[in-house]
Structure 1
Amino acid sequence: MRALVTGASGKTGRAVTAALAGRGVPVRAVIRPESDHEGVCREAGAADVARVDLGSGAGLHAAFEGVDLVYHLAPNVDDREVEMAVRIARAAETAGVRRFGFHSVLHPAEATMPHHVRKHLAEKEVRDLFPGAVVIRPAAYQDNLVPAALAGKIAVPYSLDAPFTNVALADVAEVAAVVLTEEGHDSATYELVGPQTLTVREMAEIATEVLRRVVTVRQTPIEDWVSGPGAGLPARAREQLVAMFRSYAREGLTGRSHDLARVLGREPTTWAQTLTRLL
């Protein structure tokens, strides 16, 4: 039994690779043809690496040779996401793949966030082509704020008091491994949210307590993000992330599902536990 993981060099792809490898599943990591990230994929546990252009499909046929399981992660904020999902699902169906996992996002039909809507459209296409596909809809990751918390300064371009049910990336990766390797998940849709509803301000307070040092928090103007961290992104990607930040500022990103605990068979990881594991 061999698994194919697309987007394998990113943090989610590496986590899913590690979770599958931990279950004894050989993983073929898919990276871009020009990528120099083969090493990080192997460090995560990949048995081999395939170079595929998801935009054109070049290299896809060879990548699917001997593959039984697929977990598809699209490049972040990519306008071609739907066509990539179609290409991967069609290749999986043609190759006779047993199980297919599609990495979506919490509230994919949220019209104020264009990249969420693309996930929604991609879900439909995947299910049409591969009806047994499992759709995973994670909330924002707790892990996204870990580096800033460890540095003692959390700064975000949205309200500090908006609510979030952030989820641990390791929990999401474990679910991905479960649905690909265990029976009983065909055609399921799982919304993966963390066990707490917290604001960024509250996350900083918890981090201060857990890390035993002050973790400050501040809201930065979106314009500062655009001219700073977002400056190197393509214009379209930058615009869509700004739309996401504005949505976060209005209502945060929360869910009420208990899917995570049901699939894991345990309580999900809290923000404090995520931080404690780094000490």
Structure 2
Amino acid sequence: MTTLVTAASGHLGRLVLDSLLERGVAPDSIRAGARTPASLAAYAERGVSVVPLDYNDPASVTAAVDGADKVLLISGSEVGQRVPQHAAVVDAAVAAGVEQLVYTSAPRATDTELVLAPEHKATEEHIAASGVPATILRNNWYTENYEQDLQVAREHGVLVTSTGDGRVPSAARADFAEAAAVVLTTDGHVGQVYELAGDTSWDFTTLASAMSEVLGREVQLQQVSPEDRGAQLQQVGLDAGTAGFVTALEGNIRDGVLDHTDGTLGRLLGRPTTPLVDSLRALA
């Protein structure tokens, strides 16, 4: 049984490799695909098969997928290019006759206003049309998304946001990685769509308080308008397009788009998800 992990050199990919190994999967049955295989030398030394895999190079995708029984398709990071990139993996999986394709999607991808969702929705539709046996993991927010905010809070004692009363049920990236490993190594998941989120949905007052606890200094929450937030982000070096994207995401949070959790992630893990404070402490 060979399991391919795509984008294995990324933050989530490495954690999935770690989780598979911790669950007792034989290293030589794990295939790690990466644009730069040398970046995974430490895993190769442990016996993991490291192969070239570049979403923009269909030949490398085909070669990496060939002979795999299960494929974890970790969504790409190049917004605007992900649909054809993902489709290349899906099509290769169909051609190779894989037993299970697992895809890391976005929360409520097919029915949400989340600005990140359209490419995930299109990918899910391509997977469904392909007929490949599949499991969809709709990952909510990683607590690590607030690492930069934590560093700003450390330096300036302030958390700036335009999220209003919005709430986020985040979990540690390692929790989502472990869930992927569970789905890849246990039965009964083909055909399932899992909405994965942390056990607790928190607001940004809670986030500021958690940062205060972790940093040992008071962190003031500063709520600003979307316009002021966009201007502030550009002042610290973001281009207008990226600043607009961030404010759009914060608008989604403000509108409650992410605020849903039903305990599925914890049930897959067989334990509670990592608390907000614990994740922030690890980042700090």
TM class, shorter-length:
0.7 to 0.9
- For 2:209, the aligned partner's letter is E
Instruction: Name which of 163, 177, 185 aligns with 2:181.
Output: 177
Q: Which runs of 5+ in 1 are unaligned?
A: none
Q: When the two structures are superposed, what TM-score results if normalisation uses the length of structure 1?
A: 0.84
Q: Which runs of 5+ in 2 are unaligned?
A: none
Alignment deviations for residues 39-60 of structure 1 (CA, whole Å, 9 cap, x no partner) = 2574697823322331341312
Distance in 2 (CA, whole Å) between partners of 1:109 and 1:226 is 31
Partner of 1:31: 34
Instruction: Name which of 241, 248, 261 aligns with 1:256.
Output: 261
Aligned length, in residue pairs = 273
- For 1:201, the aligned partner's letter is T
Q: 1:2-151 alignment to 2 at 5 Å?
A: 2-23=2-23, 24-26=25-27, 27-32=30-35, 35=36, 38-39=38-39, 42=42, 47-109=48-110, 112-146=113-147, 148-149=149-150
Partner of 2:217: 213
After superposition, the Cα gap between the structure-2 partners of 1:87 and 1:253, relative to the gap in structure 1 and judged at 3 Å, is same
Partner of 2:238: 230
Determine helix, strand or coil for the equivalent of 2:260: coil
After superposition, the Cα gap between the structure-2 partners of 1:39 and 1:248, relative to the gap in structure 1 and judged at 3 Å, is same
Distance in 1 (CA, whole Å) between partners of 2:94 and 2:15 is 25
Distance in 2 (CA, whole Å) between partners of 1:73 and 1:21 is 18
Determine helix, strand or coil for the equivalent of 1:66: coil
Partner of 1:269: 274
Q: Is the 8 A contact 2:169 2:260 kept in 1?
A: yes
After superposition, the Cα gap between the structure-2 partners of 1:248 and 1:41, relative to the gap in structure 1 and judged at 3 Å, is farther
Q: Is the 8 A contact 2:109 2:120 kept in 1?
A: yes
Partner of 2:252: 247
Q: CA deviation at 1:139?
A: 1.1
Percent identity of equivalent pairs: 27
Determine helix, strand or coil for the equivalent of 2:168: coil
After superposition, the Cα gap between the structure-2 partners of 1:109 and 1:182, relative to the gap in structure 1 and judged at 3 Å, is same
- For 1:200, the aligned partner's letter is F
Q: Which moved more, 1:151-160 or 1:85-94?
A: 151-160
Q: CA deviation at 1:161?
A: 3.4
Distance in 2 (CA, whole Å) between partners of 1:229 and 1:40 is 31
Q: CA deviation at 1:9?
A: 2.2
Cα RMSD (Å): 2.9
Q: CA deviation at 1:178?
A: 0.5
Distance in 2 (CA, whole Å) between partners of 1:114 and 1:120 is 11
Q: Is the 8 A contact 1:69 1:99 kept in 2?
A: yes
Q: Is the 8 A contact 2:74 2:104 kept in 1?
A: yes
Q: CA deviation at 1:115?
A: 2.8
Determine helix, strand or coil for the equivalent of 2:59: coil
Alignment deviations for residues 118-141 of structure 1 (CA, whole Å, 9 cap, x no partner) = 101211211222442110011111
Alignment deviations for residues 91-133 of structure 1 (CA, whole Å, 9 cap, x no partner) = 1122122221100011213554443121012112112224421
Distance in 2 (CA, whole Å) between partners of 1:5 and 1:176 is 10
Q: Is the 8 A contact 1:3 1:25 kept in 2?
A: no
Determine helix, strand or coil for the equivalent of 1:144: helix
Q: Is the 8 A contact 2:16 2:178 kept in 1?
A: yes
Determine helix, strand or coil for the equivalent of 1:58: helix
Q: CA deviation at 1:210?
A: 4.3
Partner of 1:167: 171
Q: Is the 8 A contact 2:112 2:257 kept in 1?
A: no
Q: CA deviation at 1:73?
A: 1.5
Determine helix, strand or coil for the equivalent of 1:251: coil
Q: Is the 8 A contact 2:72 2:102 kept in 1?
A: yes
